[in-house]
Amino acid sequence: MGLVKNTIAVMCLIATGPVVAAAGDTADHADYLKALRGQYSEGQSYWPLAITTDNIAPAPMQALPQPEKADAGKVALGEALFNDTMLSRDHTVSCATCHAAHLVFADRRRQAVGIDGQVGRRNTPALFGINLWTSLFWDGRANSAQHQALFPVSDPKEMDLPVAELVKRVNQNEKYASAFAAAYGISEIKSVHLADAIAQFERQIPPPDTPFQQVLQRLPGEPEVAIGMLSDEQLWGLHLFRTKARCMTCHEGALLSDNQFHNTGLSYYGRKFEDLGRYEVTGLASDVGRFRTPSLLAVSHTGPWMHNGLFSSLPGVVNLYNAGGARTKRREAYDNDPLYPETTPLLVKLELTKEERSALVAFLTLL
């Protein structure tokens, strides 16, 4: 009977978290972490149930799959185009300008910087797992890798080159003309071929080689070894990510994204730096201020964070979500405004302690 009571007590402790004393010390914290490690070491099917705000079970965590084999000639063409400044009006900007390989195909800037030093409105997303996305860009304006490939070329703040002009340039380039003829069996290069080649290369971008990807790779066959790769604080952070912090409400599966659009309260509606997000694509009032849930893979290497690069530290991001997102008070001038955005109800105050927030950040740095 005593064994049963002790087992129940440990399970309740894991589900609810340790009791924090007034002085800031955690009662029985070592025992709590030992119990936590024991349960997580059994394998993901034995982990405590994830807690989400909408009570919908999230897709389980799993390693991002390696790229499938592709036509080497098309991939090489795409890589050449990706790195070629010929894709911009004045030959100064390439795709790699904002998606640098050594920066996990991001740029570490608050907002993207394009032709003539123009600063865009949004942060540059990292590129990996591109085939797992159901939409591309923060506002979801593209629905496939091919669809998104040429948007930056014609964007006046990015490359500022009409696609028709790019097609002309490439056809006049003997190297590209010969390579496209060999890879695609064509005598005239069209925009669809350019988009496909770039997409072929982007699909070959490997998953980021991060500590948690290594954990996830070993987890199915060696769960105890995999969890053993985490420190106590990191393991606690993983548990908080899945439970009290409710991160998996939106960050799930291999991408750690639900492929959906949400309003975290950062649209700056009616103010300087306003960005209406998904609304600019759909025209739906419900989409004002919504942005695609970003992947958290390699998140410690992709800052600044949020669609506008507002936060320069992960603790700052955690503090935002701990507060339940940003919730601006509606001014009288907007009382009857049908477009006034509302922060998603999926974000609620979490009441994470200082120690819990630190553990969560420690876990995020592994991703």
Does 250 show up as a binding residue in the annotation? yes
CB burial readout 220-256, b (16+ within 10 A) else e:
eeebeebbebbebbbbbbbbbbbbbbbbbbbbbbbbb
Residues 163 and 147: their CA atoms lie apart, in Å, by 13
98 is in an annotated binding site: yes
- The secondary structure of the chain in percent helix, strand, coil, rounded to multiples of 5, reads 45, 5, 50
Closest CA to 78 of 194, 226, 224: 194
Nearest to 145 by CA among 203, 225, 72: 203
Cα angle for residues 83, 122, 202 (degrees, 5° grid): 30
Q: Which of 46, 29, 365, 24 is nearest to 212 (CA)?
A: 365
**CA angle 200–201–205, rounded 5-degree value:** 120
The gap from C-alpha 107 to its chain's centroid, in whole angstroms, comes to 14
CA dihedral 41, 45, 49, 50 (to 10 degrees): 90
Question: Hey, is 347 helix, strand or coil?
Answer: coil
How far is CA 200 from its chain centroid? 21
| Residues comprising the chain, all counted | 367
List residues bridging with 26 in a β-sheet. 20
CB distance 164 to 316 below 8 Å:
no
**Phi-psi region for residue 330, left (φ > 0), alpha (ψ -120 to 50) or beta?**
beta
Find out whether 247 is annotated in a ligand binding site. yes
> How far, CA to CA in Å, does 366 sit from each of 209, 213, 230, 304?
10, 8, 9, 17
Ligand-binding annotation for 99, yes or no, is yes
Annotated binding site: 95, 98-99, 247, 250-251
Annotated binding site for heme c: 95, 98-99, 247, 250-251
